[in-house]
Amino acid sequence: MTDKKMEYRWGTSPPKPKELTVSEMIHKNGAANPKPGPGDLRAYLVQRTIARHGFTEEQALAVILAFGG
- pLDDT tens per residue, range 15-62: 777 777 777 777 776 656 666 566 778 888 898 889 889 999 999 999
| Helix axes of 57-66 and 38-53: crossing angle, nearest 10 degrees | 120
Q: Tell me the whole-structure pTM to 2 decimals.
A: 0.52
- Give the model's pLDDT for residue 30: 66
* Strand (E) or helix (H) holding 37: none
Contact 52, 19 (CB under 8 A): yes
Query: Which residue ranges make up each domain of the chain?
Result: 22-66
